[in-house]
Structures are given as C-alpha cells and as structure tokens.
Structure 1
Amino acid sequence: MTRHMNESFQLEYLNEEDPRRLWVSLEERFGIARDSLLPDLEVRWHNLCFCDLKSVLGCKLEALRIKSLMDSCGKDITDAMLIERTLSTFPVSALMVAMNYQIEVNTRRITRFHMLIGAMSIAKKTTSW
C-alpha cells in the first residue's frame, strides 16, 4: 500500500508493515480533512445555480463534482436532490421550460439526473432559452 503513496509519506510510514495500522494512522492524520471540507461543500451545493453556468454540460459537471466530494465526506446527495436543485435554479426567462421538466419528473418520465441532463441537452440544441 505504501508504494502508492507520495514519496514523502513513504518515508514517514516506511516502518509501518501492518496494513491495518497504516490505514488507522492515515485516517487519524487525514480524517479531519473531510470534516473541514463539508461546510464549504454545503455552501457550494446551496449556491449551485443552473443560470450561473454557461452550459448544460457545465451544470452537470459541477453538480456531479459537488456530489462526489460530499459522498466522500459521508453526506449523500440523491438524484432527486440533483433534479430539484437544477430545476429550482432555472433562469426567470426559462420558467416555462423548468415547469415542463417538473411535469416530466412528477409523472415519473424523468427519474434520474442523467435523464434530465440528456433532455436539457437536446432541448438546448433545438431551442434557445
């Protein structure tokens, strides 16, 4: 396990032969980093706004980046939460579009975040919001 570590960490943990003890040592040292990231990630999540991003792909990437980081911190973000965050932050000029997507979600035609992003990508290519 140590051969996959940064060279300076390899030297620091060189004498640690038991993988379990190495894992515990690393967890003690870096476990707090997750706790310090969570407040910033929650702020980023609450400030995530579809209308601030340049494209549908940008929205998808930023939402999934925040989701994966929050998952690593032990906080789960579901597809329903991703869909709700995306639809609730549409620009005012596209509220009718957002309402149409909300109808699709309510009728269970769109159940996953990737389905919403796919539909939005297709619609964005054919219309201008």
Structure 2
Amino acid sequence: MTVEKPVTEQEKAKSLVLLRHHLHEGLKTEYMMVGNPKELWDCLNERFGHHKRVLLPKALFDWTNLRFQDFKSVIDYNSTMHEIVSILRYCDHPVTDEQMIEKTLTTFHASNILLQEQYRERGFKKFNELMSVLLVAEQNSDLLLKNHNLRPTGSLATHHEANATSSYPPEANATRRGGRGNYNGRGRGRGNYRGRG
C-alpha cells in the first residue's frame, strides 16, 4: 500500500498558474477568487463536463457518413477526417490508424475499386502514409489532366490541318497552292480576295 505524500503549497501554486494560463480570458476573471487548483478543476469539470455528451452524437454521425468519394481533394478529406477523429478521441472514443485507413479505402468511389485493392495490398500501418501516397497520386493525376486539356491526345496534327483549311476562304487555299489570284489574308479569314482570271 502506497502512501501519497502531501502536496506542497509551491506545487499547488504551480498547478493553479498552469490551469489559469489555459483558461479563456472571461473564465480567468470569473474564477479569479478560487485559490485551490483542485477546487478550480472541479468547478470547471462540473460546468463543462457535459460537453463530451453534447459533441459525441454528432461526431459519431459524421464518422459514420464520412466518405472519401464525397471530397474534391485529398487535403479536404484528410482535414475533415482528423477533425472528426480528434472530437471522437476527446469524447473517449479512440479511433485507430487501422480504422481510419479502412474507412478511407472502403469509401472510394465504385469506379476506383481496383485502386482500392492496390492500396490495400500495400499494407499501410499509418493513416498519414496512405494520405501521402494519395496526395502524390492526386497531384500526378491533376498534372496529366492539365497537360491533356492544354493539348488533347492527337491534337497537334489535327490542329494544323484545321487551321490550313478553316482560316482562309476556299478560293484562297487554291491561290496558296499555285492558282491565280490576289489574296489579302488580314483578319484571319475575313480578308479580301480579288481574282484576276
């Protein structure tokens, strides 16, 4: 049987300073006259102890309905995931990395079922490792998409052919290929063409 040694006045003062340091300004004033750290802790716990019971139902609802496919970016999903998990942990409902990974992989869009399996086979142990891989994959996909949108596949040859025929009136094309006539090509296709023949 261990006997607890009495707390010194110096230790009490340190505890009180630490508690007050973390209080909101309004609460510091309100509890200014409470000189015992245990009494201050009990007062705060009585006043705010129910907070977990208020937060928990919504946090559980948010966790149940959290889906990776509902987010436009990995960063947004990651931020929301950590926010929900922090509240659950605060409410004494710890969430493991394994649960976070499983929640992420099982809520991929149905069209990404193959990707889901590939990530699962990699056997991630830490949620942040999975997020890092997903962020890199997202950046690579964005880059490929931007490149494609700037110049879609096969567009280079088509682009030149289209310009050769659509920028000039039909008569001008004949002139450019050696036919007779005088073409003024100002205005990209709206120039004046005066034939001499």
Please report the TM-score for the alignment, with normalisation by the length of structure 2: 0.59
> 2: distance between equivalents of 1:80 and 1:7?
39
Change (3 A) 1:3 1:63: closer
Q: Does 1:123 align with 2:141?
A: no
Q: Does 1:17 align with 2:35?
A: yes
> 1: distance between equivalents of 2:29 and 2:99?
43
Q: Could you tell me which amino acid in structure 1 is paired with residue 49 of structure 2?
A: G
Provide the identity percentage.
31
Pick 1 or 2: higher relative contact order, CA cutoff 8 A, min separation 6. Answer: 1
Quote the offset at 1:6 in angstroms: 2.8
Quote the offset at 1:40 in angstroms: 0.6
Structure 1: give runs of 5+ residues left out of the alignment: none
Change (3 A) 1:122 1:8: closer
Deviations 1:14-51 (A, max 9, x none): 21100111011101110101111101100000111101
Aligned residue among 88, 91, 113 for 2:127: 113
Quote the offset at 1:119 in angstroms: 1.0
* Equivalent residue, structure 1, for 2:78: 60
Change (3 A) 1:122 1:7: closer
Whose radius of gyration is greater, 1 or 2? 2
Q: Does 1:48 align with 2:48?
A: no
- Counting matched residue pairs gives 124
Q: Does 1:8 align with 2:22?
A: no
> 2: distance between equivalents of 1:125 and 1:4?
40
Aligned residue among 108, 114, 120 for 1:96: 114
Q: Could you tell me which amino acid in structure 2 is paired with residue 127 of structure 1?
A: S
Quote the offset at 1:5 in angstroms: 2.5
Structure 1 vs Structure 2 CA RMSD: 1.4
> 1: distance between equivalents of 2:94 and 2:102?
15
Change (3 A) 1:3 1:64: closer
> 1: distance between equivalents of 2:136 and 2:23?
43
* Equivalent residue, structure 1, for 2:174: none
> 1: distance between equivalents of 2:79 and 2:25?
31
Q: Does 1:78 align with 2:96?
A: yes
Please report the TM-score for the alignment, with normalisation by the length of structure 1: 0.89
Q: Could you tell me which amino acid in structure 2 is paired with residue 30 of structure 1?
A: F
* Equivalent residue, structure 2, for 1:31: 49
